[in-house]
Amino acid sequence: MASREEGTKRTSRVLRISQLDALELNKALEQLVWSQFTQCFHGFKPGLLARFEPEVKAFLWLFLWRFTIYSKNATVGQSVLNIQYKNDFSPNPRYQPPSRNQKLWYAVCTIGGKWLEERCYDLFRNPHLASFRKAKQCVNFVVGILKLGGLINFLIFLQRGKFATLTERLLGIRSVFCKPQNIREVGFEYMNRELLWHGFAEFLIFLLPLINIQKLKAKLSSWCIPLTGAPNGDSTLATSGRQCSLCGEWPTMPHTIGCEHIFCYYCVKSSFLYDMYFTCPKCGTEVHSLQPLKSGIEMSEVNAL
C-alpha cells in the first residue's frame, strides 16, 4: 500500500518543464489576443490606443482571468497540459481549489502589477512631472526588489519543483494534475529508426557538396560511351563543330580546350570558373588552354558539311 501511494505521488507531481511550458503558452495567448484586438483598429487613426494601452490590456487580461482562473482554477496553458491550481495552504490532503480571495489576489498581483508598472513608466517619462524623482526612485527600487525575488524564487523552483512564479509562492497556490497521469511507454524501435534516418540525412547533406557532379558525369559518360579514336586535325574539329558540347546549340564564339570538341566561349568559361578541374563532358579531357577555333576553319564550311 505504501509503495502504491508513493507511486501515485510521483506520477501526480507536475514536472518543471510542464509548468514552464504553461507559462510560455499563457504569454503566447496574451500576444495573440492583443494582436487580434489591435487589428480591429487598423483602419482608425494611428496611435488611437497608445494613450489608453495599459488600461485596455488590463481589461483584456481581466476578461481572460474571469473565464480561466476564476471559473476553472487554471490558465489556458495549464488547461492544455492537464494542470490546475491547488490551495497549498489547505490542511486537507485531497484536492482543494484556490479560495476566492486567492483568485482575487492573483488578479491584483498579475494584472494590477503589470498595469501599475506600465502606467508609472508612462507618467515618469512625462517631462512635466520631473519633480517626482523620489517617487520614481522608490518605484524603481520596489520593481528591482520584486525582480530579485522572482529570480530567487525561480532558483528555488528549479531545485524543488514547486511554485514557478513568486505570485504562486506568496499566495500558496501550486500546480497539480487534473487527472492522475499514467506512466508512458516509449517505443525505442521507432526512436532508433528516426535517429538513424536523421543521421544518414545529415551525412548526405555534408557529403553532397564535396562531390564534383560534372566530373563524375564526365567519367560515367566516358565509361559508357567508348572513344572512337584520337582527334585527326581540323576536319575533326569541323565535324564536331556543329553544336556546343555543353549546351547543344550552335556554338557562339567557338573555343576548344585541347580536344576535338567545340564549346561556346561563355559555356566553357563559366564552367571553368565554377570548377577549376573542369573536364570535357564527352571525352573527359582536362582543360589545358582555352583557345578560339582556328581561323582556317570557317563556320560556313562547317555548315556546308
Residue 83 bridge partners (DSSP): 177
User: What pLDDT does 150 receive?
Assistant: 92
The pLDDT, as a whole number, for residue 126 is 66
pLDDT computed for residue 281 by the predictor: 76
Phi, psi dihedrals of residue 264, rounded to the nearest 5°: -65, 145
Query: Residues 194-225: pLDDT tens digits?
Result: 889 988 999 888 888 777 676 677 667 666 65
Cα dist from 7 to 2, 58, 114, 157, whole Å: 9, 42, 40, 22
Instruction: Provide the pLDDT confidence category of residue 117 given band limits of 50, 70 and 90.
Output: confident
pLDDT at res. 299: 47
Write down the pLDDT at residue 3.
46
3-state secondary structure the chain: CHHHHHHHHHHHCCCHHHHHHHHHHHHHHHHHHHHHHHHCCCCCCCCCCCCCHHHHHHHHHHHHHHHCHHHHCCCHHHHHCCEEEEECCCCCCCCCCCCHHHHHHHHHHHHHHHHHHHHHHHHHHCHHHCCCHHHHHHHHHHHHHHHHHHHHHHHHHHHHCCCCCHHHHHHCEEEEECCCCCCCCCCHHHHHHHHHHHHHHHHHHHHHHHCCHHHHHHHHHHHHCCCCCCCCCHHHHHHHHHCCCCCCCCCCCEEECCCCCCEEHHHHHHHHHHCCCCECCCCCCECCCCEECCCCCCHHHHHHC
Grid cell locating 110: 498579475
**CB-count burial class (<10 Å; 0-12, 13-18, 19+) for 215:** middle
| pLDDT at residue 236 tops 80 | no
CA distance 19 to 303: 80
0.95 exceeded by pTM: no
> Which of 45-49, 86-90, 172-176, 186-190 comes out lowest in average pLDDT?
186-190
β-pair partners for 86: 174
**85 touches 105 (CB < 8 A):** no
Question: What crossing angle do the helices spanning 16-39 and 53-67 adopt, rounded to 10°?
Answer: 130
Write down the pLDDT at residue 303: 47
> What CATH number belongs to 242-294?
3.30.40.10
Domain extents in the chain? 16-177, 242-294
Is pLDDT above 70 for 226? no
| Residue 305 pLDDT greater than 50, yes or no | no
Query: What's the rounded Cα separation, in Å, for the pair 231 and 228?
Result: 9
Q: By percentage, how much of the chain surpasses pLDDT 70?
A: 76
